[in-house]
Structure 1
């Protein structure tokens, strides 16, 4: 199951087998809880079309869908929080939810980017023509927003502190307007995923490449080629985990070495998130089209 793991790797096979067996036994015996949003008693709170993106922070979750809305959920009550957030003129494909800064960033098929206050639902900023085509990926970290589009480009937006924030820097709820800083060109396919990590951005594309970019110099530092397109990327330290059809690869983006190949599936792997400690993958969450 773990192709590419070195022979002397410390893999807890017994623990993995016990957990897998326990999960299977619970499932076969019906010992599980069916959880859904919204609660079945409040079906009218649901999106009116397909749901394309979700982001969670603590006991709160944000979703975006084909109905053009962004919705906020309470995981304890399984209920919609406040009203649905409306403003996009197309399907909401991409989300970033920062619970600490109390903001949601959303991108849509109509090439728009919106920034919302999570707690109140108020729109903080609208960027109507962020790209020349649909915005399908975005990530916000450290005052920088990366957006990926079907126009093959990655754009970098930097947060300019508001006047209020300058005088009240301890208040993380203050919002500074996002201003376009640069356009990163090099992909020849739609940019399916982006991730901001310190002074770099990692992007994946339908051109079957993963690229690492310098935010400061705007140059492409490294390119990883794949036999098929990549649907998702996540960065933890020096490790990139990327989801491609039927497998996840973990790569050291400094050396370019493939650390591990994991989780082969029978159908396309759509998303992956990895947590690494001391260079080891200690937790992995993935989802594929096989359900």
Structure 2
């Protein structure tokens, strides 16, 4: 699917029950249906300074939300391709990460910035909720939101050696810091609860409970060095997707046994730099972007025969 930005990874989200991909670059910011690869709404051109984006449904219309280098959060009517009058301000650095979740019946926008804060916004009123969340050091390098009933936001800063987590509803820490040395944050809903991948030493891989820090057993015994990862449960099987820099493929490994569950995902012509997954209505998609400036979408249920 088209060209990927050199630096900013694509974002995947859910829009009206449809998994979509949001691509941000200096020329065109566009949304794509993950299942068909077709564009959703009107591509928006000339969003100078846009560094991050996500989508949601608000007041009966599909809305694109962007964060930019001028520290302003803006919203656009995706169907019309027109800006909405509401903006949100408060960050003092580049807004590099955005996500939307539902908490207690209201839609909450979560924004992460180079100012070492994460902020929560009530989208219905465009007002900030509570105080900024702090706990990571330096420029925000990774942010992830996981959980449906009680969402948790995870963050890692440039100067951190651990992942911090916060309860979205209360802003309080959701659990102990999780040691990590990789920039990407990999989460998965395992039978025992929400888990995050931890790499306390280069190459060592653990999965730990977000709220307690307790370890989950897994079957992958080999060490992983500088690999990009994502995780999901596909047809009841917990799967870890791992990039292979030697042949530009992505391996799918059963977390219970460590074995590959299907042939490697091949097609990229350069190393895969970003992986992400999304499950909607029982179907799981994996999105990979590469240094070859391409974005590829994989239907994991089809690949695994589930």
Q: Normalised by the size of structure 1, how large is the TM-score? A: 0.65
Partner residue, 1:179: 172
| Match among 100, 115, 122 for residue 117 of structure 1 | 122
> Which structure: greater helix fraction?
1
Give the whole-Å Cα distance in 1 for the aligned partners of 2:39 and 2:146.
33
Partner residue, 2:287: 285
Partner residue, 2:143: 137
- Indicate conservation of the 8 Å contact 1:113/1:126, yes or no: no
Partner residue, 1:235: 232
Partner residue, 1:147: 154
The answer to whether the aligner puts 1:201 opposite 2:195 as a matched pair is: yes
Give the whole-Å Cα distance in 2 for the aligned partners of 1:236 and 1:96.
21
- Indicate conservation of the 8 Å contact 2:42/2:79, yes or no: no
Give the whole-Å Cα distance in 1 for the aligned partners of 2:80 and 2:106.
23
Q: Do the aligned partners of residues 71 and 148 (structure 1) sit closer, same or farther apart at CA in structure 2, a change above 3 Å counting?
A: same
Partner residue, 1:85: 88
- Indicate conservation of the 8 Å contact 2:202/2:225, yes or no: no
The answer to whether the aligner puts 1:272 opposite 2:275 as a matched pair is: yes
Give the whole-Å Cα distance in 1 for the aligned partners of 2:69 and 2:204.
28
Which shifted more, 115-124 or 63-72?
63-72
> Which structure: greater strand fraction?
2
Which structure has the larger Rg? 1
| Match among 214, 229, 253 for residue 219 of structure 1 | 214
Give the whole-Å Cα distance in 2 for the aligned partners of 1:179 and 1:61.
28
- Indicate conservation of the 8 Å contact 1:137/1:148, yes or no: yes
SS across alignment from 1:258: coil
Q: How many residues align?
A: 233
Deviations along 1:184-239, one digit per CA (max 9) or x if unpaired, are 3332x243224352622223779566542113431333576434332x52423522
Which shifted more, 105-114 or 253-262?
253-262
Partner residue, 1:165: none
Unmatched segments (≥5 aa) in structure 2: 1-37, 294-306
Give the whole-Å Cα distance in 2 for the aligned partners of 1:33 and 1:132.
37
SS across alignment from 2:174: strand
Partner residue, 1:4: none
The answer to whether the aligner puts 1:158 opposite 2:151 as a matched pair is: no
- 1:69 Cα shift? 3.0
Deviations along 1:6-48, one digit per CA (max 9) or x if unpaired, are xxxxxxxxxxxxxxxxxxxxxxxxxx9797643x4xx4xx2x4
Q: Normalised by the size of structure 2, how large is the TM-score? A: 0.62
